[in-house]
Structure 1
Amino acid sequence: MTTFLQASDRAESTKTMHAGYARVWIIPVLGDVRLDQLNVNDINRLILTMKADGRADATRRNCYTTLRIALDDAVVNGLLATNPVHRVKQPKVTRHEARFLRPDEVPALIAAAATLRYGPILSFILGTGLRRGEALALTWAHIDLDQGTARVNGSLVRRNGHLLVSTPKTAASRRSVALSPAMVALLQRWRTAQAAERLVAGNLWHDDGGGPRAGYVFTTAFGGPVEPQNVLRTVQLAATAAGLPDVTVHALRHTYATTALLNGVPLKVVSSNLGHASIQITADTYGHVTDAAAQAAAAAVAEALGL
């Protein structure tokens, strides 16, 4: 499995995830079962073992997926005739409504983050819907302030002790996102501040040797990439100061999507901006919002037609 996984064209983050499930769960529980003797009962035993250990629905489902993919590879390699995982029902995941900020909560969070170094990143995610890693992976070469666009080409992640930019998981994740005038102004202010920091840092400034246009948009005081965990800490500090419970970095992305849908932005546009692999993912995640938007649209059409 290890050799075939590493040789595959799956994203590095996906390989790491599958390897983790294999190491922590699949091998310890099923490692003593011969491949040709693996059956439905063994697979159910794995899922029940994880459930007994208190693993979340999504974790059990992900492990199921890892095993299914591994055994699919075994079939391709002629090690198995059929994949027994396909005869086991995929674990269900109970979906919970995503936390998002109400319009009256956003100014409080932004005000609380105003004195924090990475506060502008929170505003940028709120205004674009980008994932945290996508925002941190942007370089100035990806930004066109005149046209008001940002090209998303990867995600900044910490792997094996190093910060690196991973390739997008899907083609939809590699996209161009429109920047509002407010976001363009935010980036202009940040670039001006960054230029001043660059002068102060002198030869200690880090930009991978490519000059200002090649450097990251959001950086440390010395031009290096921003540790993703520091953005999480910024959200936590700002949310606590503003008295807002349960606010995560992902809640900012949800806020963007929810606000867009409630204000009449088409579902397809929101899905594209979020980088979802399909419009169905967006519809499933924001079903409660799209229902409300549909009701508002119906009312607006009736009013416009004088009905």
Structure 2
Amino acid sequence: MPTKLIQVRKTIGHTVEGKPIRKSFYAKTKREGERKYLEFLKEAEKENKTALHYTFSEFSKVWLETKRDEVNDNTYKQTYLTNMKVLEAAFGDKLLESITQINLQKFFSAQSGISKSKMDKLYLIANAVFSTAFENDLIDKNPMTKVKKGQVSNPKELRTYTDQQYRFVIDFAKEHPYGLGVFIMLKTGLRRSELFALKWDSIDFGKKIMYIKNAAVKEFGSYVIDKTKTFSSMRQIPLDDEFVNHLKNQTQHSEYIITLGSKLNQIADLDNWTKRRYNPFILDLSEFYIAEKEKANVENYDPLPKLRIHELRHTYGTLLYRSGTDVYTVSKILGHADVQITTKIYVHDTVEDIRSRIDFTKLP
């Protein structure tokens, strides 16, 4: 029985009056059909069959389809689809050949103030789209060639707990009704998305190992289980006795360790959990910390920072490093693809850390 072919119907140009010219491409898969479309555009332009004109939006959709095989679903949705929407809002209905270097430079200059990561992704995608269009002879040159990125905002400095504060928060989290998620992140360095995908069968209590294979990602307004951020994020994390003993004492109401409200066998909404669990926890923690210092008549004590959720992960990585764990091991535990990421973002030496590694007596 012959294989049923899928029809991919595309705009292959516009008439002088501006009406779209449509053509069908048949293939076994949609992606194969998109590739046939790209090949047609290139050949048609070479043979000058018709005046081919494509809007940024029309071509970007084809380009996006070609990326599906190259990246995982999480990266495709959160990086490519999300940032392409920003570019389409600015250039969507404009013909590719009408978009100039000046247009693009104004766009990137207007993005000033966004994060470096966001700026880099927008630039990479815009350049890739126009490069592909140029390579397929749809435009005479790549207008991104001399475009410069706009100014980016200074990233917020990541904070951590001190050793003493870390111990205080761990003990408090073990007793607080909303403290389980905080306890797990401070003990393992999980990403928030990984925490919410964590199931009880992800932990081998006998071997004291946690297996990280999935992450919770937002799709069409709700969270679903997907692959981890990168291949390196799939990892095994060694656990200490305190972690194992505390988790063993928890009542297992659901297959998921972190739940919210009555939705026991569903993935907890990360945003709601932050509002309804994490923020109240931090408020209670701060009040208890101040009360304990006043009870002990401690003067001029360091205030307890109100960490953002991601800074719990940062705290664990930093304390591991400062306790003597090598950077490579810290990188493996945190699930980084490159040890340089660990060094640049998560490992920060204080002047006293640096001093402790210098033997001034050996200097001439």
* Greater C-alpha radius of gyration: 2
Paired residue for 1:15? 76
Paired residue for 1:217? 257
Question: Aligned-pair distance for 1:132?
Answer: 0.9
Q: Equivalent residues in 2 for 1:17-36 (5 A)?
A: 17=78, 18-23=80-85, 25-36=86-97
After TM superposition, the score normalised by the length of structure 1 is: 0.77
Residue pair 2:115, 2:155 contacting (<8 A) in 1 also: no
Question: Aligned-pair distance for 1:16?
Answer: 2.8
Q: Aligned equivalents of 1:168 and 1:79: distance in 2?
A: 37
Higher RCO (C-alpha 8 Å, min separation 6): 1
Question: Aligned-pair distance for 1:111?
Answer: 5.4
Paired residue for 1:156? 216
Structure 1 stretches lacking a partner, 5+ long: 198-206, 208-214
Q: Aligned equivalents of 2:134 and 2:211: distance in 1?
A: 39
SS class of match (1:177): strand
SS class of match (1:59): helix
Residue pair 2:197, 2:216 contacting (<8 A) in 1 also: yes
Say which of 48, 53, 60 aligns to 2:119.
60
Deviation string, structure 1 residues 89-142 (Cα, Å, up to 9, x no partner): 445653442121222333444455456544111111001101011122122332
Residue pair 1:71, 1:83 contacting (<8 A) in 2 also: yes
Question: Aligned-pair distance for 1:41?
Answer: 2.0
Question: Aligned-pair distance for 1:189?
Answer: 1.7
> Cα RMSD between the aligned structures?
3.1
Paired residue for 1:178? 238
Residue pair 1:263, 1:293 contacting (<8 A) in 2 also: no
Distance 1:246 1:89, change over 3 A: farther
Say which of 41, 48, 54 aligns to 2:109.
48
248-257 vs 31-40, greater mean Cα deviation: 31-40
Distance 1:290 1:81, change over 3 A: farther
Give % identity.
Answer: 25
Paired residue for 2:282? 239
Say which of 315, 329, 332 aligns to 1:272.
332
Q: Equivalent residues in 2 for 1:1-307 (5 A)?
A: 1-6=60-65, 8-9=68-69, 10-17=71-78, 18-23=80-85, 25-51=86-112, 55-74=114-133, 79=138, 83-91=142-150, 93=152, 94-110=154-170, 113-114=173-174, 116-190=176-250, 193-194=251-252, 197=253, 215-220=255-260, 222-233=264-275, 234-243=277-286, 244-286=304-346, 288-289=348-349, 293=353, 295-299=355-359
Q: Aligned equivalents of 1:118 and 1:72: distance in 2?
A: 50
Q: Aligned equivalents of 1:245 and 1:34: distance in 2?
A: 51
What is the identity, as a one-letter code, of the residue corresponding to 1:85?
Answer: M
Higher strand fraction (1 or 2)? 2
Question: Aligned-pair distance for 1:35?
Answer: 1.8
Q: Aligned equivalents of 1:292 and 1:270: distance in 2?
A: 20
What is the identity, as a one-letter code, of the residue corresponding to 2:342?
Answer: T
Higher helix fraction (1 or 2)? 1
Residue pair 2:174, 2:183 contacting (<8 A) in 1 also: no
Question: Aligned-pair distance for 1:170?
Answer: 1.9
Runs of 4+ in 1 over 6 A off after TM superposition: none
Question: Aligned-pair distance for 1:266?
Answer: 0.5
SS class of match (1:85): coil
Distance 1:125 1:32, change over 3 A: same
Deviation string, structure 1 residues 159-202 (Cα, Å, up to 9, x no partner): 21332112123221111111122222222122xx11xx4xxxxx
Size of the aligned set, in residue pairs, is 280
